[in-house]
Amino acid sequence: MSRTSEQALLIFTRNPEPGKCKTRLAATIGDRAALAIYTFLLRHTAALAAVVPDTDKFVYFSDYLGDGSLWDPAVFRPRLQEGPDLGVRMERAFDAAFREGYQRVVLIGSDLYDLSSADLAIAFKSLKKHPAVIGPATDGGYYLIGLTAPVPGLFRDKAWGTDTVCSDTLADLEGMEPALLPPRNDVDYYEDIAGIPAFEPFLKDIGTDDDKRTR
């Protein structure tokens, strides 16, 4: 499918399989509940991304291309992540988008209940005035990164999954004056969803879940 816009949204996702997604959350609530929550988050991400106008949308799967049940193939173009670690996989996804002629490229994950379509619209608008945009996560990572051109080394030498990722990335962008979005909380641990009504239906039966781990 050919390019239809000057901007591209890249969505990184894990294939939803029990025991392979949201493992830190599953350590508290069990694999089945964690999978149900992750599937809920995928649907949430797909819904908010689908309505972003004038944007080509790509879903980068972790292991194999999805069957289209969660990501409508009429809206989302499926691709596979390629590379030995997260940084290389993101770098290659950005490089592919720029080679295809996109002028503004934004990458997000798929586990943010706090994310909205307005956040994505602001990110793309920011890239019309700034060379980069970052959405800091409350755990020290980032939930969104956008660029107008490749930045050599930006995705290298990072301790992925730690609280230094955002600060280290901003250090690499020093002098470029990146735009900053409001902090958002991604879902990794039970504490990230506790007390949020949208997640309560997934938690009501965790006490009887056969694969529930000890809290």
Q: What are 96-131's pLDDT values in tens digits?
A: 999 999 999 999 999 899 999 999 999 999 999 999
DSSP single-letter state for residue 194: T
Q: Do residues 96 and 137 make contact, with C-beta atoms less than 8 angstroms apart? A: no
Closest CA to 108 of 40, 16, 186, 1: 186
For the stretch 61-84, pLDDT in tens is: 999 998 889 999 999 999 999 999
DSSP single-letter state for residue 190: G
Which strand (E) or helix (H) includes residue 117?
A: helix 117-126
Q: Do residues 136 and 180 make contact, with C-beta atoms less than 8 angstroms apart? A: yes
Chain centroid to CA 157: 20
Q: Which CATH architecture has domain 7-204?
A: Alpha-Beta Complex (3.90)
Domain boundaries, the chain: 7-204
For the stretch 182-210, pLDDT in tens is: 999 988 889 999 889 999 999 886 654 44
DSSP single-letter state for residue 40: H
Q: How confident is the model at residue 212 (pLDDT cuts 50, 70, 90)?
A: very low
Q: Which residues of 80-111 are buried (b: 16+ CB within 10 A; e: fewer)?
A: ebeeeebbebbbebbebbeeeebebbbbbbbb
